[in-house]
Structures are given as C-alpha cells and as structure tokens.
C-alpha cells in the first residue's frame, strides 16, 4: 500500500532516486484504475457494461491527443494554453477543404489533402509560438495565451460563431466506426502515444527536451541547439493539436470553435497525475496515458451517476488542487523522515 501511495504522490516522476521504479509507478496507477473500476461497478450498476466502455473508448481519444499536445511543452518547462483552439482551427481548415472539394460528396483525396492542410496549419501555429518562445524569450504562458485569444477570434470570425457541418459519410465512419472491434479514434490515440514515446525516449530531440526542461542554459552549453529544440516542442504540440482537431471533427461530424475549451484543465490534471514535474524536465508518456484513463473512467462514472457536467468541472478543479496539495504534504513528510533517519 505504501508503495502505491508513494507512486501516486511522489512529486517527481521517472527518477529512480525518488523511490519507485518505473514499473512500480505504472503498477501503482493501474492499481488505482482497478480500484476505481471495482468501486464504480459496485456503486453504479450500469457501469460495468459494454456501452460504458464503448463510450469511454470513443471519448478518450480527443482528450488524450490534447493531453499529449500539452505534455511536451510541460516537459520543456513551458505550457501551451492554446491547445483546444489550435485543434478547433485545424478542424476548420479540414472542414474548409472538404467544403471546397464538394461537401458531402468530397472524395477521399480531398480528405487527405484536407488532413495535410490541417496538420500544416497546426504545425504553423506551433512554429509561430515556438519561435517567439525560443528566440525572443517571451514567456510561454503569455505567448500561448495571446495565440489562444487570436485563434479564438479568428475561428469565430470565420464561422460567425456557428457550427460547420456536412461532411462525407466516411469521415463519420472514421470518427465513430471501429476497426477489428476497436474504435478508430482509439487506434489513432494509441498510434500517437507510441509516436510520442518514440520521440521522447528514442530521439535526440526528445533527449534534448528533457534536458532543457531542467536547465536550458546548461543544455545549450553542452552543445545542444536549444533554440531549435524549443521551437520543435511547440511545433510537435501544434501537430498533435491538429490531429485532435481532425478526430473531433470526425466524431461530431461538425466543427465548432470553443468545443473542448474546458479540456485544458483536464489535460494539465492528467499530466500532473501522471507525475509530470510542473517545473519541467521529468515525466513519461505511459503514466500520463494511464492517468488519462483514470480521469476518463471517473468522468464516465460521474456521468452514469447522473452528475451534472458543471459539477464535474468543479470536481476536476478540486482534484487538481487536492493532488498538488497532497503531493506537497507528502514530499514535506518524506524530507522530515529522511532527515530524522540520518
């Protein structure tokens, strides 16, 4: 039990010195998940049903993709507040290409062009933020905030605040269909998680992101091109946002600017629950992904229990505070203990 608690509460993830091994860490989170599923199936009789799991499997991806988009800036010691609106805007680009290519009759080629354009726009948004953060040295909170205001304005200007709908049927199939019994969006999420693991664990860029997240100057002195790496952080974030935007478009068969606005909080929550260091430099993909499932299960559980959507928002806020407070208390306790033992 102690190891379970400590896995969940240690402030810094991914460091063997802080106690829990990576496997134990993941095990701890999985145990929490299991406890949660058991608890919910006892309290909410309908929880343990195929329908619940299908709904989770379809809801999880958009949140998961946005969480991945938030993760990399957090690791670099920054933040990207513009994730949801970047996703919305990429969705709009795809919608626009589909509309221009024949609306509901648009061919697959048009769709592919649209996806490319959407990803390009996401990357461009990220590139602008990254260049300003990396080479001008402006604060990521400010830059992403300004970008968020701009994108929201741009999106509302283009859509006049309404929905954009009317896409070819195969787009809906992409968002709501299954492949070998697995929801397509979930497959996309899993692919994205694998891609992020590959980038963070197995590339020079990923290595550099962790290093510069802890100390930008020392990393630069070691010969790493930190300007380029920091720019890439936001480009990658932007690309992941556009993938999220495409999945959102496909799932709802429409685009509305402002959709998923409240996700910013949940993505931050998922990252911190997955033991990403708020000051950057530490945090891994798998624990974050498991935390995400935990949050989604809680969300679906609350839904089943008939909880109001706004109450859920408040609960997310309270959970984030609680996790951070308990973590602060826990690390203080551990320190006391260490000192006394010596």
CB of 34 to other proteins, least distance (A): 26
State how far the Cα of 328 lies from the Cα of 342, in Å rounded to an integer.
22
Ordered DSSP codes for 27-51: HHHHHHHHHHHHHHHHHSTTSSSHH
Contact criterion met (CB below 8 Å) for 90 and 121 = yes
CB of 26 to other proteins, least distance (A): 16
- Region of 223 (left: φ > 0; alpha: ψ -120 to 50; beta: rest) is left
State how far the Cα of 10 lies from the Cα of 285, in Å rounded to an integer.
16
Ordered DSSP codes for 64-114: HHHHHHHHHHHHTT---TTHHHHHHHHHHHHHHHHHHTTGGG--HHHHHHH
**Closest CB to other proteins among 67 and 174?**
67
State how far the Cα of 200 lies from the Cα of 181, in Å rounded to an integer.
30
Cα end-to-end distance, the chain, whole Å: 24
Q: Which of 258, 113, 116, 100 is nearest to 167 (CA)?
A: 100
Tell me the β-bridge partners of 182. 179
**Closest CB to other proteins among 156 and 163?**
156
State how far the Cα of 312 lies from the Cα of 306, in Å rounded to an integer.
10
State how far the Cα of 309 lies from the Cα of 334, in Å rounded to an integer.
37
Q: Whose structure tokens read 């996309």?
A: 188
CB of 175 to other proteins, least distance (A): 27
**Closest CB to other proteins among 224 and 288?**
224
CB of 149 to other proteins, least distance (A): 4
**Closest CB to other proteins among 194 and 314?**
314
**Closest CB to other proteins among 17 and 109?**
17
CB of 236 to other proteins, least distance (A): 16
**Closest CB to other proteins among 1 and 341?**
341
CB of 7 to other proteins, least distance (A): 17
Pseudo-torsion of CA 182, 239, 166, 99, nearest 10°? -140
**Closest CB to other proteins among 27 and 317?**
317
**Closest CB to other proteins among 177 and 279?**
279
Biggest distance spanned by C-alpha atoms of the chain? 73
CB of 264 to other proteins, least distance (A): 7
CB of 27 to other proteins, least distance (A): 18
The strand pair at 182-183 and 178-179 is best described as antiparallel
C-alpha distances in Å from residue 328, one per residue of 265, 295, 321: 20, 21, 11
**Closest CB to other proteins among 251 and 275?**
275
CB of 115 to other proteins, least distance (A): 25
């Amino acid at each position: 039990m102690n190891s379970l608690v400590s896995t969940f509460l240690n402030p810094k993830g991914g460091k063997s010195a802080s106690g829990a091994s990576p496997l134990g860490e993941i095990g701890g989170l999985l145990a929490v998940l299991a406890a949660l599923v058991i608890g919910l199936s006892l309290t909410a009789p309908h929880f343990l049903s195929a329908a619940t799991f299908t709904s989770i499997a379809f809801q999880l991806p958009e949140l998961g993709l946005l969480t991945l988009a938030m993760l990399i800036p957090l690791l670099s010691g920054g933040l990207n507040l513009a994730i949801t609106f970047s996703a919305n805007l990429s969705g709009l680009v795809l919608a626009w290409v589909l509309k221009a290519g024949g609306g509901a009759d648009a061919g697959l080629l048009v769709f592919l062009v649209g996806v490319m354009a959407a990803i390009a726009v996401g990357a461009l948004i990220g590139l602008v933020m990254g260049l300003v953060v990396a080479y001008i040295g402006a604060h990521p909170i400010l830059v992403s905030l300004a970008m968020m205001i701009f994108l929201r304005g741009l999106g509302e200007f283009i859509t006049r605040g309404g929905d954009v709908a009317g896409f070819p049927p195969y787009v809906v199939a992409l968002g709501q269909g299954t492949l070998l019994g697995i929801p397509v969006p979930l497959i996309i999420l899993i692919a994205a998680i694998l891609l992020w693991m590959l980038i963070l664990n197995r590339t020079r860029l990923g290595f550099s992101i962790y290093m510069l997240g802890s100390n930008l100057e020392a990393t630069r002195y070691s010969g790493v091109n930190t300007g380029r790496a920091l720019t890439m952080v936001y480009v990658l974030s932007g690309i992941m946002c556009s993938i999220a935007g495409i999945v959102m478009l496909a799932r709802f068969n429409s685009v509305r600017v402002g959709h998923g606005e409240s996700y910013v909080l949940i993505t931050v929550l998922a990252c911190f629950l997955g033991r990403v260091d708020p000051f950057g430099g530490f945090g891994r993909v798998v624990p974050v992904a498991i935390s995400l499932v935990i949050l989604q299960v809680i969300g679906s559980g609350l839904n089943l229990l008939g909880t109001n959507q706004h109450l859920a928002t408040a609960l997310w806020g309270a959970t984030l505070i609680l996790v951070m407070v308990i973590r602060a208390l826990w690390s203080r306790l551990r320190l006391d203990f260490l000192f006394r033992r010596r």
